[in-house]
Structure 1
Amino acid sequence: MIELLFIIKLLVAIAFVIGLSILAENVSPKVAGILSGYPTGSAITLFFFGLEVSPDFAAKSAVYNMMGLTAALTFVYVYYIASRYFKRFNILLSSLSAITAYFAVVSLLHLIEINKYIAILIPITFSFLFIRLFKSIENINIKTKAKLNYKILFVRAFFAALIILVITSVPKFVGPTWAGLFSAFPTTLFPLMLIIHFTYSKEHVHTVIKNVPIGMFSLIIYSLVISIVYPLYGIYVGTLISFGAATVYLLVYKKIRSVLDKRELN
């Protein structure tokens, strides 16, 4: 059973990160940034919390996952700021700065006694704040794409697999509060950022970052629905319902964005 779970986590991690990186290259970093907020890493983590521990544990963790999204947004903001100012070892120092900021915010969030209303309000407020802070970032497409080979694909898969396997091991050592906060770590987004930054440039990774807060609303919706439906319907049906709710948000956003763009052209 343990070996099977290991293989599932590894394969899902590979699929998400490679998929998003290819999407960034062939569609745009903007689209990849929005979809990186789609419940991928957190969905995997919460699902395995429910599978390995219990649906109630995962549901409670999902509430703190919403709070933890504040730390995830801080992560991408600090990475953006650090990557602008560090001249040497840019990727390494940006990553270390972002990770440090994430755990600093998580440590502060752990001290707050919360309920679902607070858990919803705080990440929504921060999402709007970071949309504002990232407003001046220019959306840049990738013009010259890297030629994919097995080595590149392996490296891309390795980052996601390592991070997800570490984070999904958390509930074995801590309670649902810490587990939920850690489950918000950008397990899919962080490897994607590293891939785009290393393969292309910081300007391209900034495009990804700019659009993360927009997609983050789908993850807020996902975690909220998980906290409600897991105890009622179990992890399998509950996961389908939650993905459905997150998908509806993205479709509605796409429709509204399309209407607004047409108005601007007219």
Structure 2
Amino acid sequence: MKFRSSLCLRRTAAALAALSIAGSAFAFADDDARRAILDLRETVKAIQADLSVSKNAQMQLMTEINRLKEQNRHLTGQVEELYNALEMEKRSTRDLFGSLDSRVEAFEPQTVVINGESVTVDPKEKQAFDEAVLHLQDRQYKQAENGFKRFAAEWPKSPYRPDALFWWGTAAFALEHYKTVISTQNQLLREYPKNPRAADAMLLVGSAQAASGNLKAARATFQKVQKTYPDSEAAVTAKARLASLGK
């Protein structure tokens, strides 16, 4: 009986000792867990702090980027304004110099080609001749006749004069002003017998004579065209008109 009691006591003491050891172990384990949790919290806080710093840095970066974009838009607008102003200045300069050139050209002599020859004429002289030619081209024969008549009077030494006399006679022929035709073409022949218009001028005289009923004079003129200008187209035409008069 005493033996059993002693054995129970020993077992109970061993159990209490085991519980004591287990309690100490659990106590140590709990401390480790708390420290791990605390460390984890600190780590989380550190990460959150880093994230907050990173987020702030990103926001600052975006703010800076937006500011730079705004500056770029502003600078681009300024560049466009300067470019447009420069283009307007260029156009104004071109217009100014173009206007000046036009004004200068209006007074400076101009070089033109008349019947294959380069000559110098006054701008007003050229304008007067061109206007009369335009009237003739538009079949405004009266205006053309007056224009060439006025030109011949105002520019007696003009290199355009032979052509002006010829086209004056041409306009007069269209108006059946045959005396004017004959007088203008004979004047051309007297002043410029070797001019490229001379053969056609003589042919025009013969045509005016024939149209006015002076057939004898017309025949003589057409024969003279053939004799004086045998290699010209006017001579070929004169021959055909002679044949027509003969019929």
- The alignment's TM-score, normalised by the length of structure 2, stands at 0.21
Greater per-residue strand proportion: 2
| Bigger Rg over Cα | 2
- The alignment's TM-score, normalised by the length of structure 1, stands at 0.20
Relative contact order, higher structure (CA 8 A, sep 6+) = 1
